[in-house]
A and B are shown apart, each in its own frame.
Chain A
């Protein structure tokens, strides 16, 4: 099951905790992977760890030209892009009343607009191939909201609506578009929280623990697989029961 041999996958944010695990899972299932991110050193380290079938393509997701170029670059390296995982994301948290236009815009640009551009960039190849998998990494806060994260929650909720619209457009071409919405996962992003914040969060998680990146990667692997061909426009929540939606 979940064999991706012969498929070519592009993963953004592959230098991060969740993105790295996603790339490992797809690679382990047989896919060729292109690891994208802003910092080249961790990407090259991961590519070296994976060995064959791994490429590196740096990209600044806040730069439109760099984003536009990424699908073409990945296709040149691998021959095609059959699986796109939009995992890269940033936070610039602030209370609503204090949030600057720049804090708002930069999060929307990197999390939502770059996802739109990358989806658009891979569609032509997927349409011709009559096969494609797009998995957008949203967040539980896109569904529930979170104080201090108006910009981030908006970007992640935006991904869900965008994914459903695209899913409806391209379903007849064998292309599926889904979201995975992680809850609280142990990563560098959640390491910034202090112990008190973590303890408070855990009171809201029936599973009583944070998730790990491998549990997100497993959800992505499923949605990227041939077996998930009839699943499209959905959001798979992976959050230990924190929000049952």
Chain B
């Protein structure tokens, strides 16, 4: 697994308090990992800080799963 995916996973595990093996490529933050809408905003904020990037609102809306997040961030850094 890439360095980016590891760092994203660490944030998700810490923020949502879920087991690491639940954070799979297709795991939906809301449907599978128990996030509410405010959690998703906070995750995006945490990604922005960790990677020093800006994630615009329309892009943030497309980030539904762990895989989406890794893919977006990999393209942005």
Q: Which residues of A contact B (CB under 8 A)?
A: 124, 127-128, 169-170, 172-173
Contacts and interface: CB of A to CB of B under 8 A. Distances in A.
B45 interface: yes
Interface string B3-32: 000000000000000000000000000000
B45 A173 contact: no
8 contacts: A124-B45, A127-B42, A127-B45, A128-B45, A169-B38, A170-B38, A172-B38, A173-B38
Contacts of A127: 42, 45
Given A127-B45, A173-B38, 6 more contacts: A124-B45, A127-B42, A128-B45, A169-B38, A170-B38, A172-B38
B48 to A, nearest CB: 10
| Category for how many chain B residues contact A | under 10
Instruction: Specify the main secondary structure of chain A where it touches its partner.
Output: helix
Nearest to B38: A169
Nearest to A170: B38
A111 B52 CA distance: 34
Interface in B39-58: 42, 45
A91 B42 CA distance: 37
A170 B42 CA distance: 11
A96 B45 CA distance: 44
A124 B42 CA distance: 8
Nearest to A169: B38
Contacts of A128: 45
A168 to B, nearest CB: 10
Nearest to B45: A124
Contacts of B42: 127
Contacts of B38: 169-170, 172-173
Nearest to B49: A128
Contacts of A124: 45
Contacts of A169: 38
Contacts of A170: 38
